[in-house]
Structure 1
Amino acid sequence: MAAVGGIDRKLMPLVAASLGLSAYAVYWLRRSNSDTAVPGVYESKKLLNEYLAFHFGKPEELIPYSFGPKDALDFPKRCAELCLKHFKSKDIGRSRALDIGCSVGRSTFELARAVNEVIGIDYSQSFIDAADTLCREGEIPYKLVQEGDIFSEAVATVPRDIDRTRVFFEQGDACALRSDLGTFDVVLAANILCRLHHPKYFLDRLRQLLPKPGSLLVLTGPYTWLHQFTDKSLWLGGYVDANGKAITGFQRLQQELGPYFELLEQVEMPYFIRETARENQWAVAHATVWRRK
Structure 2
Amino acid sequence: MSNIYESERLLNEYLLFHYGSPTEILPWDFGPVEALGFAERSVNLLQDRMLIAAQGAAALDLGCAVGRSCYELAHGCERVIGIDYSQSFVNAAEKVRVSGELPYQQHIEGREIRELIAKRPECGDASRISFEQGDAMNIRADIGNFDVVHAANLLCRLPEPQKLIQRLPDLVKPGGQLLLTTPCTWLEEFTPSQNWPQGSTFEWLKESLSGSFELAEQVDLPFLIREHARKYQWSVALGTRWVRL
Q: 2:204 aligns with which of 242, 252, 258?
A: 252
Number of residue pairs aligned between Structure 1 and Structure 2: 245
SS at match of 1:67: coil
Higher alpha-carbon Rg: 1
Residue 87 to residue 107, structure 1, CA distance change in 2 (3 Å): farther
Task: Name the residue aligned to 1:165.
Answer: 127
Residue 100 to residue 169, structure 1, CA distance change in 2 (3 Å): same
SS at match of 1:114: coil
Task: Name the residue aligned to 1:30.
Answer: none
User: How far is the alpha carbon of 1:228 from its aligned partner?
Assistant: 1.1
Q: In 1, Cα distance between the equivalents of 2:49 and 2:54?
A: 13
Matched, 1:85 2:48: yes
* TM superposition score normalised by structure 2: 0.97
Give a deviation string over 1:20-64, Cα, whole Å, max 9, x none: xxxxxxx2xxxxxxxxxxx33110000000000000111111111
User: How far is the alpha carbon of 1:162 from its aligned partner?
Assistant: 2.4
Identical amino acids, percent of aligned pairs: 48
Higher relative contact order (CA 8 A, sep 6+): 2
Task: Name the residue aligned to 1:63.
Answer: 26
Q: In 2, Cα distance between the equivalents of 1:82 and 1:99?
A: 15
CA contact (8 A) 1:100 1:174 kept: yes
* TM superposition score normalised by structure 1: 0.81
Instruction: Name the amino acid aligned to 2:215.
Output: L
Matched, 1:116 2:68: no
**What is the 5 A alignment of 1:92-241?**
92-210=54-172, 212-235=173-196, 237=197, 239=198
CA contact (8 A) 1:130 1:140 kept: yes
- The runs of at least 4 consecutive aligned structure 1 residues that moved more than 6 Å come to none
SS at match of 2:14: helix
- Unpaired segments of 5 or more residues in structure 1? 1-26, 28-38, 240-246
- What RMSD over aligned residues (CA atoms) do the two structures have, in Å? 1.1
SS at match of 1:185: strand
CA contact (8 A) 2:49 2:76 kept: no
